């Protein structure tokens, strides 16, 4: 693992590692993302394919899909969000423990997609903060994996305390303000 913020020389330091809390916490977090599959339409099929042997999302340490929001920290919104379903999506998001992230998978979750209609929410970012958007209708599993790796990169750059104590977070921090 390449991480320049952790330096360890066993000859000099013995059993002591000197680093930053952010670096360690983020390193732990980004390598054990537990996704919550919010499968609402055909994107969920591609999401399932990503979990299967051919694409194998476990190569990146995020294979532990949990169907309970209390056991997950990354909601993958895969599919069309209707206004009737928006309430449910928001409630499930609220039930996830901090820190938590959201991936909007596919055109529908990102913008409403081809559903320009009275029934469809025009992008899930109108009700929950989204970290990564994926284009495609539906996106291929590679696109999802790419987005999850981008999410890992993003987690690596976050200030972990922001997520630990959201109410005490610096108000100038954009991530803290939206979460």
Partner 1 sequence: MTTSDLALLKERFETLTQRESSDHVALNCASSQLIELCTALRDDFGYDMLVDVTAIDWDAQSPRFTGIYHFLSTTKHEYLRVAADCTDDINPALPSLTSLYASANWHERETYDLMGIRYQGHPDLTRILMWDAYPYHPLRKDFPLAGIEVPLPADDVAEVTGMSVRPAPMVGGPFVSSADGPMSQTEPRARDESWNEKKIKPCGK
The dihedral over CA atoms of 74, 77, 78, 84, expressed in degrees to the nearest 10, equals: 150
CA–CA gap between residue 102 and residue 124 (Å, rounded): 10
Among 21, 28, 97, 114, binds partner 1 (CB under 8 A): 114
Q: Does 117 bind partner 1 (CB under 8 A)?
A: yes
The DSSP output letter for 84 is H
Q: Which stretch binds partner 1 (CB under 8 A): 42-50, 70-78, 120-128, 153-161?
A: 120-128
Helix pair angle (141-157, 21-30), 10° resolution? 160
Q: Does 59 bind partner 1 (CB under 8 A)?
A: no
Which are the contacts of 15, defined by CB distance < 8 A and separation ≥ 6? none
Q: Does 120 bind partner 1 (CB under 8 A)?
A: yes
Q: Which stretch binds partner 1 (CB under 8 A): 6-14, 33-41, 61-69, 85-93?
A: 85-93
Q: Which residues bind partner 1 (CB under 8 A)?
A: 83-84, 86-87, 90-91, 112, 114-120, 122, 126-128
């Amino acid at each position: 693992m390449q991480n320049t913020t952790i330096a360890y020389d066993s000859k000099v330091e013995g059993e002591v590692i000197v680093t930053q809390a952010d670096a360690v916490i983020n390193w732990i977090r980004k390598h054990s993302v537990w996704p919550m599959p919010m499968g609402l339409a055909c994107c969920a099929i591609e999401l399932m394919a990503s979990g299967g042997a051919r694409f194998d999302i476990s190569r990146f340490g995020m294979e532990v899909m949990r169907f309970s929001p209390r056991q997950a920290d990354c909601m993958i919104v895969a599919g069309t969000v209707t206004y009737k379903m928006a309430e449910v999506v928001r409630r499930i998001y609220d039930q996830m423990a901090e820190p938590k992230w959201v991936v909007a998978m596919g055109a529908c979750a990102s913008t409403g997609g081809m559903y320009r209609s009275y029934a469809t929410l025009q992008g899930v970012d109108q009700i929950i903060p989204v970290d990564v958007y994926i284009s495609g209708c539906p996106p291929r599993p590679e696109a999802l994996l790419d987005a999850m790796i981008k999410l890992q990169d993003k987690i690596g750059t976050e200030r972990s305390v922001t997520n630990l104590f959201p109410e005490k977070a610096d108000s100038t921090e954009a991530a803290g303000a939206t979460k």
